[in-house]
């Protein structure tokens, strides 16, 4: 299948080029022809009035937590987890995970997301939803090393890797998912590191999310969560670390040296009052940073454009420096930086040979006028409902704001049915 996106503004190398064309063959971008012939393509997409960006990447999610959206708000992280979320999660079943994953994936596609990283349970059901929906995902089985599910976490994560890594036309990859230093003691993390090495898998983990976590880990082990993970070998596997709010200069030096990639979740960090991650410092040290929503129960939406806007704004206020996180840095975190976080080498740029994961944003809304600076408009004025068309792996998943593959009414009905079923047991 050959596709052509015509007459589009192209975001490439941190600048915008007007009046471009993008040629796609199968799953990849094949070039930017100056005078393409429509007849040579199976499908021509009119990109007039639109900005083409590399597909947006959500680097940290628990997608089926949509079921807990508006269920437990205004709580401390540990109270939220221990009193509300973990007891309810114990009742989750395959059908709930599948239906809620579909809902969350649809919400992400509508917001221009083409790839996401996820950590959750019943992951074969989520993988099925990824396969059917057409999105790209980097999945892991979130595993807690204290309590009855410790061995199941290790075993199911291994099985997830064997069953799904590289599947769905290469759209699914699998990492190992030890949940966090406060739920995974060192001996358990050692087992995960061994398993990751054996399989050649990377690790996705929550690190240094709250001040309390860092204080407790320091008290217990005499070092910070980052230093502890380094000692155990977690950072040598290739590590996607969610949050990293409470990291100091020494931690960031280790992160830079070990190429830790950071999933920055400003919405979740604000809502759970975890704090503000030192992202400008991380970037200055050369650390790769992407954006994440975290689960819909601590955000409470999966809108990655909103996360970008939050990221551009909170760091300016927090550092009292309006120069930090300028528009192009924010857009980089949303696209290329996010793709690097997930370990992709041919996703995240609009270049020949790269995967055709493309988000087209409508530039005709009132808030896109007058047209002083497109990059600034995208970073500071746009919202996710401007997303018009979304392609993943060369396939159109959203065309002119309509879903091409997903039955949205059915997805909403199933999300509501499975929510009621779950809550009848809680």
Distance, in Å, from the CA atom of 129 to the CA atom of 104, rounded to the nearest integer, reads: 10
Smallest separation, CB 126 to ligand SIB (Å): 12
Angle formed at CA 324 by CA 322 and CA 326, multiple of 5 degrees: 90
Candidates 294-302, 312-320, 359-367, 381-389 — which segment interacts with ligand SIB by CB under 6 A?
294-302
Nearer to ligand SIB, 41 or 182 (CB): 182
202 marked ligand binding residue: no
Q: Is 213 in the site for Zn ion (CB under 5 A)?
A: no
For the bound state, the minimum distance from the C-beta of residue 119 to ligand SIB, rounded and expressed in Å, comes to 5
How big is the site for Zn ion, counted in residues (CB under 5 A)? 1
Residues 6+ apart with CB under 8 A from 169: 27, 393
CA distance 80 to 84: 5
- Asked if residue 62 binds ligand SIB (CB under 6 A), the reply is yes
Position among 121, 230, 388, 395 found at the interface with ligand SIB (CB under 6 A):
121
- Using the minimum distance from each CB to ligand SIB, give the nearer residue, 112 or 295: 295
251 binds Zn ion (CB under 5 A): no
60 is in an annotated binding site: yes
Dist. CA 253–CA 247, nearest whole Å: 10
Please, which residue, 120 or 164, has the CB nearer to Zn ion?
Answer: 120
Distances (CA, A) of 397 to 202, 281, 402, 407: 28, 37, 8, 12
Tell whether residue 301 is a contact of ligand SIB (CB under 6 A). no
209 is in an annotated binding site: yes
Residue 209 near Zn ion by CB under 5 A: no
61 makes contact with ligand SIB (CB under 6 A): no
Q: Which structure tokens are listed for 41?
A: 């393509």
How far, in Å, are 10, 125, 130, 238, 308 from residue 401 at the CA level? 19, 27, 20, 36, 21
Shortest distance in whole angstroms from residue 282 CB to ligand SIB: 18
Distance CA 209, CA 205 (A): 11
Please identify which residue in 107, 202, 213, 294 interacts with ligand SIB, judged by CB under 6 A: 294
Minimal distance, residue 82 CB to ligand SIB, in Å:
10
Residue 94 or 402: which CB sits closer to ligand SIB? 94
Pairing of strands 50-54, 113-120: unpaired
Is 206 a binder of ligand SIB (CB under 6 A)? yes
Is residue 246 near ligand SIB by the rule CB under 6 A? no
Alpha carbons 201 and 399: distance in angstroms, whole number? 35
Q: How many helices (H) and strands (E) does the chain have?
A: 16, 18
SS3 category, 142: strand
**DSSP string of 48-66?**
TTEEEEEPEEEEEE-GGGG
The reply to whether 206 sits in an annotated binding site is yes
Q: Which residue in 144, 207, 282, 314 binds ligand SIB (CB under 6 A)?
A: 144
Q: What distance in Å separates the CA atoms of residue 242 and residue 226, rounded to the nearest whole number?
A: 12
**End-to-end alpha carbon distance in the chain:** 48
294 near Zn ion, rule: CB under 5 A: yes
Instruction: Tell me whether residue 62 is annotated as binding.
Output: yes
- Binding residues for Zn ion (CB under 5 A): 294
- Binding residues for ligand SIB (CB under 6 A): 62, 77, 81, 85-86, 89, 119-121, 142-144, 149, 153, 179-180, 206, 209, 268, 294-295, 298
Feature table: binding site for Zn(2+):
60, 62, 206, 294
Feature table: binding site:
60, 62, 89, 141, 179, 206, 209, 294
């Amino acid at each position: 299948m050959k596709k052509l996106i015509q007459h589009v503004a192209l975001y490439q190398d941190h600048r915008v080029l007007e009046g471009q064309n993008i040629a796609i063959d199968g799953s990849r971008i094949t070039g930017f022809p100056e005078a393409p012939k429509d007849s040579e393509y199976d499908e021509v997409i009119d990109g007039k009035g639109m900005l083409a960006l590399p597909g947006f990447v959500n680097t940290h999610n628990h997608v089926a937590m949509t079921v807990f959206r508006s269920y437990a708000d205004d709580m401390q992280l540990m109270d939220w987890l221990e009193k509300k979320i973990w007891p309810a999660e114990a009742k989750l079943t395959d059908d709930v995970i599948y239906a809620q994953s579909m809902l969350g994936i649809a919400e992400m596609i509508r917001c221009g997301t083409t790839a996401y990283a996820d950590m959750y349970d019943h992951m074969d059901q989520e993988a099925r939803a990824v396969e059917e929906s057409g999105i790209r995902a980097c999945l892991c089985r979130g595993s807690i090393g204290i309590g009855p599910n410790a061995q199941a976490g290790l075993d199911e994560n291994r099985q997830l890797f064997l069953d799904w890594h590289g599947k769905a036309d290469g759209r699914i990859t699998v990492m190992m998912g030890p949940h966090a230093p406060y739920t995974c003691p060192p001996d358990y993390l050692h087992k995960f590191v061994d398993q990751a090495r054996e399989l050649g898998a990377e690790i996705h983990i929550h690190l240094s999310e709250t001040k309390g976590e860092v204080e407790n880990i320091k008290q217990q082990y005499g070092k910070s969560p980052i230093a502890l993970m380094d000692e155990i070998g977690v950072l040598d596997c290739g590590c996607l670390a969610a949050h990293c709010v409470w990291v100091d200069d020494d931690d960031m030096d280790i992160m830079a040296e070990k190429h830790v990639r950071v999933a920055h979740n400003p919405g979740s960090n604000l809502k759970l009052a975890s704090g503000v991650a030192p992202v400008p410092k991380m970037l200055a040290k050369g650390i790769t940073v992407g954006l994440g929503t975290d689960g819909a129960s601590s955000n409470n939406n999966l809108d990655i454009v909103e996360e970008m806007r939050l990221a551009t704004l909170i760091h300016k206020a927090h550092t009292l420096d309006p120069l930090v996180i300028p528009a192009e840095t924010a857009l980089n975190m949303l696209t290329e930086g996010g793709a690097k976080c997930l370990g992709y080498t041919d996703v995240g740029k609009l270049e020949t040979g790269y995967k055709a994961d493309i988000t087209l944003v409508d530039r005709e809304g009132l808030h896109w006028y007058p047209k002083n600076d497109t990059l600034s408009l995208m970073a500071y004025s746009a919202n996710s409902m401007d997303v018009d068309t979304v392609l993943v792996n060369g396939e159109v998943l959203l065309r002119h704001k309509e879903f091409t593959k997903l039955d949205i009414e059915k997805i909403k009905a199933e999300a509501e049915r499975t929510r009621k079923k779950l809550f009848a047991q809680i």
